[in-house]
Amino acid sequence: MAIPRKTSVRIPGKILYLTEDPGSLERQLRGEAVDVDPERDALVNNISTDELTPGWVCYYYDETLARYCLVGLRGGVIQRDGIKNGGFGVIVSGRSKGCGSSRETAPYSEREAGVRLVVARSIEKIYGQNCQNIGLLTTTDFGVLDRVRRGEDIPIAEFTKGLDPISAAVVEYGGLFTYNRARLAGETTPPAVTTAPRPMTLCEKIIAAHAIVDAKTGAIGVPAVKPGDALFVRTDVRFSHEYVTAMADSLFREGAGADAVVAEPESVFAFRDHLTFLDQIMPEAHVKLGLREQAASLATVQETFTKRHGIKLYGEVVRDGKTVGSEAICHNKVIEELALPGQVVAGTDSHTCMGGAIGCFAFGVGSTDMANAWLTRDIRVAVPHTARFNLHGTLRAGVTAKDVMLYLLSQPFWKSGEGIGKVLEFAGEGVRAMPLDERATLTNMAVEAGGFTGIVEADEVIVDYLVAQRGLAADDVRARIVKADAGAEYFATFDVDLGALEPMVATPGDPRNGVPLRTLAEATGGDVKIDIAYGGSCTGGKKVDMDLYASVLSRAVAKGQRVADGVQLFIQFGSQDIRRYAEQKGYIEIFTKAGAELVDPSCGACIKAGPGVSTRADQVTVSAINRNFPGRSGPGHVYLASPLVVAASAIAGKIVSPEAI
């Protein structure tokens, strides 16, 4: 029997408008009729996946998620079962719905709570694709709301407008697994890529080389692709972490069968890196809910999965009989050990794009995409547009790649949402002068603006690194390097004078809230007192970051200074290799003398799961992590800054420039 495709849909249930007015939202949740006009009444913008399903909610990976849908929304108006028991079929919000982490638990919680349609001014790339994968409809056309209210049968074409042919077919089939069953049965076929040879950007060339030509024979590679082409690409590296592996495994067995096996498991990797220190900071209220055991089950399920399929697991490290942390945060290990220039890397984390620092096409996907990729090795891609950032000149002393990204993210191209789904290709003598770790900060934070990924063309810096780090042959690495073609077309091109940039901070709520540190000081009288300074995560826990922390703290120690009274400074290593580097450089002694608390590798406080989280709403943190969405690192206020500013602020007790120490 042929698998049916939807031609129309009727959306049952009420419409919930996520308004900035808490009173209006509360009345809607109580079932009252509320007159909301999206053109008149402000809707909440930038609703992150952390707000849809806060970190602790992600310990669940089944229909239980429905009970906690949107409990993290700012203001705390939505309580457990609020969406599930509200009878809502549609949720409406403002710009940038689903920004942040790639967690598929977010749209899954909405779907399981009865929501069938998400309407927003703009929808983030990974969240939107996750919605398609699980059959949750989305649109940016607010005109559809009147048709929903009238109970009309709405053509499915209304929800496939602007989508590439594969994504449209996934929507019509009601999800990715159903689509793939039809594809494997020969009932539907992805359109052939017929783009004629053309100059291509860096990512376009990698995609073209990995394009699936014939899934049965395994043939890959087409002459060229262009933005909008829809295809499947062959991955070189697939990885997941414990936050997601359990859900993906459940979907894998459900969609592919209990006896299904992972294809080419030697290119699949798993990481126990997110919840390593959860026991240290889990609130008692969560313990009473049984969340300690629920969270622990994620690691157990992951370990069982990896043993069943022969997959390498980067797990916890035991030192002197005690678990001290993880082997590495996944993104740091991908660069240290797994990815190579010119490859395609897919991971179940939005910051997978960090791998682009070595010249590969690396991007985050959701649980359903990964579950399908375990079976087929393939990931669907609509060729994205690329924005090129030509970095010119030299950074001034005290200015880092983190400042560059906070500056770029504050620009209208990103704040307007125009950059959603775009590749950020960094080029120019400014980026070529940066060490690998600073390039990794650029690519890591590409997703903070809703970008598809970030990438830097590999060069001799990368060759030297891979030869020294992995013992590879230099000529073999050079042979893998992919370069953008002369004459390649870019969606937008930006020229940035690095010498004109200054230390930046992003004020609480969004990484796009960047302002010069000088401006913040002028506005506040230079008196933003802090309670916590956090140096760590994949973004701020690299070798160069250790150099930066040490450069400030060594000056402080030489002057007899320590971390300010009432302030906690945490320095967390991105991998055990990075910790060994800090030990060899003598940094451990410096950090300890300065009064820092050292933390072994784990995502930790960045996802509210380790030392360094805030515990009260009045606490202020200055952090080297990549995002500061509400509630992500605790209830307090989080300012993003460079490792230099984090270290200096810890000594001063308030947010200051490194020059102040």
Which two structure tokens, joined as six digits, stand for 509?
A: 């709520």
How many Å apart are CA 25 and CA 553, to the nearest integer? 47
Which two structure tokens, joined as six digits, stand for 125?
A: 């790339």
Distances (CA, A) of 162 to 70, 138, 228: 28, 12, 10
Residue with tokens 């039809």: 182
Q: State the DSSP H helix or E strand holding residue 553, giving kind and residue range, or none if neither.
A: helix 543-558
Cβ–Cβ under 8 Å, residues 550 and 581:
no
Tell me the pLDDT tens digit for each residue of 107-159: 999 999 999 999 999 999 889 999 999 999 999 999 999 999 999 999 999 99
Where residue 341 falls among pLDDT bands split at 50, 70, 90?
A: very high
pTM (two decimals): 0.90
Supply angle C-alpha 162, 166, 169, rounded to 5: 85
How many Å apart are CA 80 and CA 115, to the nearest integer? 15
Please give the pLDDT value at position 506: 97
Please give the pLDDT value at position 1: 67
From 366, 274, 278, 269, select the one nearest 329 (Cα to Cα).
274
Give 125's Cβ-side CA count (13 Å radius). Answer: 26
Q: Is pLDDT of 337 > 70?
A: yes
Tell me the three state secondary structure of residue 14.
strand
Q: How many CB atoms lie within 10 A of CB 197?
A: 10
From 277, 348, 352, select the one nearest 598 (Cα to Cα).
277
How many Å apart are CA 236 and CA 489, to the nearest integer? 26
> How large is the average pLDDT for residues 572-587?
97
Local structure of residue 328 (DSSP, 8 states): B
> What distance, in Å, lies between the first and last C-alpha atoms of the chain?
73
Q: How many CB atoms lie within 10 A of CB 226?
A: 16
Cβ–Cβ under 8 Å, residues 329 and 602:
yes
Local structure of residue 37 (DSSP, 8 states): -
> How large is the average pLDDT for residues 597-606?
93
Please give the pLDDT value at position 283: 87
Q: State the DSSP H helix or E strand holding residue 240, giving kind and residue range, or none if neither.
A: strand 237-241
Tell me the pLDDT tens digit for each residue of 545-569: 999 999 999 999 999 999 999 999 9
Tell me the pLDDT tens digit for each residue of 218-265: 899 999 999 999 999 999 999 999 989 999 999 899 888 889 999 999
Please give the pLDDT value at position 416: 79
- Could you write out the three-class secondary structure of 72-88? CCCCCCCCCCCCCCCCE
Give 218's Cβ-side CA count (13 Å radius). Answer: 5
Please give the pLDDT value at position 581: 98
- Please give the residue that has the higher pLDDT: either 606 or 456: 456
Domains, the chain, ordered by start: 8-173 (3.20.19), 237-382 (3.30.499.10), 503-661 (3.30.499.10)
Which two structure tokens, joined as six digits, stand for 340?
A: 């190579």
How many Å apart are CA 142 and CA 155, to the nearest integer? 15
Which two structure tokens, joined as six digits, stand for 253?
A: 């067995």
Per DSSP bridges, beta strands 237-241 and 344-347 are: parallel
* Residues above pLDDT 70, as percent of the chain: 100
Which segments of 180-241 are extended strands (E)? 212-214, 219-220, 230-234, 237-241
Please give the pLDDT value at position 555: 97
Q: 494 forms bridges with which residues in the sheet?
A: 389
Cβ–Cβ under 8 Å, residues 660 and 650:
no
Query: In 21-175, which residue ranges form alpha helices assigned H by DSSP?
Result: 22-29, 49-52, 105-112, 125-134, 144-149, 165-173
Please give the pLDDT value at position 257: 87
Q: 437 forms bridges with which residues in the sheet?
A: none
Tell me the pLDDT tens digit for each residue of 492-533: 999 999 999 999 999 999 999 999 999 999 999 889 999 999
How many Å apart are CA 14 and CA 89, to the nearest integer? 5
Residues in contact with 183: Cβ distance below 8 Å, sequence separation at least 6, in sequence order: 189, 190, 215
Cβ–Cβ under 8 Å, residues 567 and 561:
no
Q: Is pLDDT of 388 > 90?
A: yes
Residues in contact with 21: Cβ distance below 8 Å, sequence separation at least 6, in sequence order: 41, 42
Cβ–Cβ under 8 Å, residues 419 and 490:
no
Q: Is pLDDT of 449 > 80?
A: no
Indicate the average pLDDT of the chain.
Answer: 94
Cβ–Cβ under 8 Å, residues 464 and 470:
no
